[in-house]
Amino acid sequence: MIPPHSADDTSPVAFVPTNIHQVIDLTDTAKAANAAKATLAAPIPAKFQKLHEFWNASNYLTAGQIFLMETNPLLREELKAEHIKPRLLGHWGTCPGQNFVYTHLNRLIKERELQMIYVSGPGHGGNFLIAQTYLEGTYSEVYPQITQDEAGIGKLFKQFSFPGGVPSHCAPETPGSLHEGGELGYCLSHSFGAVLDKPDLAIACVVGDGEAETGPLATSWHANKFLNPLTDGVVLPILHLNGAKIANASFLARIPNSELLALFQGYGYDPILIEGSDPGLMHPEFAQALDTWADKVKYIKVDAKAKHDRGELLDRPVWPMIILKTPKGWTGPKMIDGKAIEGTFRSHQVPISSPATNNVHLRTLETWLKSYEPDKLFDENGALRADLKMLLPPPELQLGRNKYINPTMTPLALPSLKSMAAVDVKVRGDTDASDMTVLGKFLAQVMVDNEATRNFRMFSPDETSSNRLHEVFKVTKRQFMGVLVPSVDESTGQYGRVMEMLSEHQCEGLLEGYLLTGGHGIFNTYEAFVHIIDSMFNQHVKWMETCEHIPWRHRLASLNLLLSSHVWRQDHNGFTHQDPGFLNHVSLKKSSVVRVYLPPDANTLLTVMHHCLGTYNRANVIVAGKHEAPQWLSMDEAQLHFHSGGGIWEWASNDKGRGVPHVILACAGDVPTLESLAAVSILQKALPQLRVRFINIVDLFKLASSREHPHGWSDDRFDSLFTKNQPVVFAFHGYPDLIHKLVFHRHNRNFVVKGYCEEGTITTPFDMTVRNGLDRYHQVMDVCDFIESGKCGGGATELDDETKSLAVYVRQEMMAKLVKHRDTITTTGLDMDEIRDWKWEDPAHANNGSGGPLFFRNM
């Protein structure tokens, strides 16, 4: 909770808004003063003099990182060309405004003892955050070589955007950074996700005006409808409008203030507008705006507590936010080469382009940097003046050291798998169940078991029920602070742990923010539309991969993506909903971080999820079907199968003890497993002398070489399963080229991969597999082709003539089946009875009884 002004003040503040959409426009004074004094700047009020000097110090260090090498960092001698970096990289335009905000937040935090995090939406201005955390001492604490003296400042300057140094963004390497901003659009969703279940936390989220034009950011303003003022923290959105993007004007900076204010009132905020460029006026006005925000938040929090204590529903708060208008490149050079710099897009990156080769530019740079008076800000040793350090909050409250920035993760309490086994497999495939419904019961128990710590949430774009996870609503609700209709919103309430918003961007961003501050969760969505968050996934994976190499960063709970309503059961929605390509995208990321799991049934899915919820610093992608489907493995078998990552299903194979298999049928995914088992059944009845090995893969990256992925099998282990040269028909959930890529360096080159080939429409479930050649009949035909071409055999594995002859007839029969299939679905609209009523029948071979034990080889 936002604390009162003093420790003994526990009553609500006197401020009670008469108009809940009250707008405080503090710009009139600035406008009047500027009009009266023209270019004459107002003096800095004595109350803000030291704060202004601290701002100057941060601006100096920020600009110095762009331009200066290690020598002469405080300009105690004339600036020369050799003091300039050979390549000038970084961003200036957003930085002085962000330094202004950060400096003022220090004052607010110190006076009100706030727990606060700073999230920088324009993350490419990372030099500002490095400067601020250096001034507070956090940077030197985690990087002791960057000392608090002139030599340390020199090292600070040289390392920025320099080979062997640090990135220019607010990267994981920077203390105080929660959000890199490598791609714009996610700072608000990260911030709202980060404060869930943390009532003591406030986040100041600075949104850049270029970022504000992105779709994800524009949508994320609606996240204010989620925050419960009693159980969650607070987000202070600060829309920082400096007028321009990289090369042209920004939209929100060029509309009338009345329109701008109306926009954010419509979003449900109470906006406070500050506009100007004169520090003498801006300092007191922005300080007043922050105090007004804190007072309003305190009122909202205290009022919510009082309503809760009376047993009343809470009102949805109209949270205050700030719109801050300052010039782009504020306090920087006004003109260069006859062109305006400050206040224009030309200040976006490096405002002075050639100081090392152009003497006019060199002298302009020197004049600019000295305007901050570094000789007065830092003592003779190069340390920040002691009286300016007194402006900082105590260490435990400093923005760069906040406990939620680098949290210590509390592991989830996970229920026993044996107690959760909902499918008792006595006869293979005889029991049908929805894998996702079974998983929903497990996740409901996870909710219950972690109620005390309140550190687990689920996120979905309105698809928790559609993806058959509805069992969770027996123990929790969807969280929403808007108007609730009792007769309709039975599963929605103010204290729920399921977050639903029909935006994949927001669900992913909220989950990422929740994870980054110590929580656990999953994001479930339709498989075809997870592509919407492709680039967000990139950013988070890169963050985790980088954190693995930063000793002071604590581990975080893994990002768990559960993809359902998948390609093979989107026959009712059609082509637009049929795309398993996210798995290809994941396969391109760092192998140390990404994992892909394709459980064939419910018990295996439970085992996979149980594992993933206990991992950290990973991106786990799980694909599972929601429709009723045959169940294959007992819980004990499923656990063994998962921990092996895949292997031979002996009960579906007939090669044991008979020699090298003539052919291998392998699969990954629930529908591919069903079709491959059906193909095995056909083959073992029609061609009894054919030795068939059946392999199922759960952990997709087992197929990769151990040299390429930490989960990959060694070549010897792979060869023991797939042999070095026997033909393999591999039925895969996704695009076939991914399997070809994963096994490219293996010895066995006889792979035929069946998968999604971009053939889809509204049709029957089985016809989807037929259209893409994944079905049982096409798989049997592929085996017959291998037999007829002589690839099934050789040496001791040579097939007998009878089997070779029979294969021709079997292939012809399969073609007839496909013709019958087409006639049936176009006449009746349903799949053939033999498809809809198909059940697994164990082939009559040694050591295999119905429901018998499962054995694996070479795990």
- Domain range list for the chain: 24-401, 417-628, 664-836
Spans in the chain with pLDDT lower than 70:
1-39, 123, 422, 794-797, 843-859
Residues 235, 226: Cα–Cα separation, whole Å: 11
839: helix, strand or coil: coil
**Phi and psi torsions of 264, nearest 5°:** -80, -25
The reported pLDDT for the residue numbered 546 is 95
Is the fold of 24-401 the same as that of 417-628? Answer: yes
> Under a CB-based contact definition with an 8 Å cutoff, are residues 569 and 765 in contact?
yes
Q: Residue 357: what pLDDT?
A: 95
If phi over 0 gives left and psi between -120 and 50 gives alpha, with beta otherwise, what is residue 686? alpha
Distance CA 139, CA 400 (A): 8
Q: What is the pLDDT of residues 23-79, one digit of tens each?
A: 444 444 444 444 444 457 899 999 999 999 999 999 999 999 999 999 999 999 999
Residue 844 is predicted with a pLDDT of 52
Going by C-alpha positions, the residue among 443, 432, 490, 483 that lies closest to residue 467 is: 443
Region of 409 (left: φ > 0; alpha: ψ -120 to 50; beta: rest) is: beta
Cβ-in-10-Å burial (0-12, 13-18, 19+) of 611 comes to buried
The 10s digit of each residue's pLDDT in 340-387 is 999 999 999 999 999 999 999 999 999 999 999 999 999 999 999 999
pLDDT at 2: 44
Query: CA 231, 237, 238 angle in degrees (round to 5)?
Result: 155
CA dihedral sign of residues 194, 197, 201, 203? positive
What is the Cα–Cα distance from 772 to 743, expressed in whole angstroms?
A: 21
Q: How far apart are CA 220 and CA 208, in angstroms?
A: 14
Q: What is the DSSP letter of 519?
A: -
What are the strands of the beta sheet with 646-648, ordered from one edge? 646-648, 692-697, 663-668, 728-732, 751-754
Q: Looking at domain 664-836, which of 3.30.1370.160, 3.40.50.1100, 3.40.50.920, 3.10.350.10 is its CATH number?
A: 3.40.50.920
Distance in angstroms (rounded) separating the CA atoms of residues 478 and 159: 47
Strand, coil or helix: what is 607? helix
What does the alpha-carbon distance between residue 127 and residue 65 come to, in Å, rounded to a whole number?
7
417-628 topology per CATH? Rossmann fold (3.40.50)
24-401 carries CATH number 3.40.50.970? yes
Cβ–Cβ < 8 Å for 324, 295: no
pLDDT of residue 41: 86
**Residues 160, 66: contact at Cβ < 8 Å?**
yes
160 pairs with which residues across the strands? 166
- Helices vs strands, H then E, count in the chain: 27, 23
Whether 724 and 747 have beta carbons less than 8 Å apart is answered as yes
How far is 292 from 315, CA to CA, in rounded Å? 20
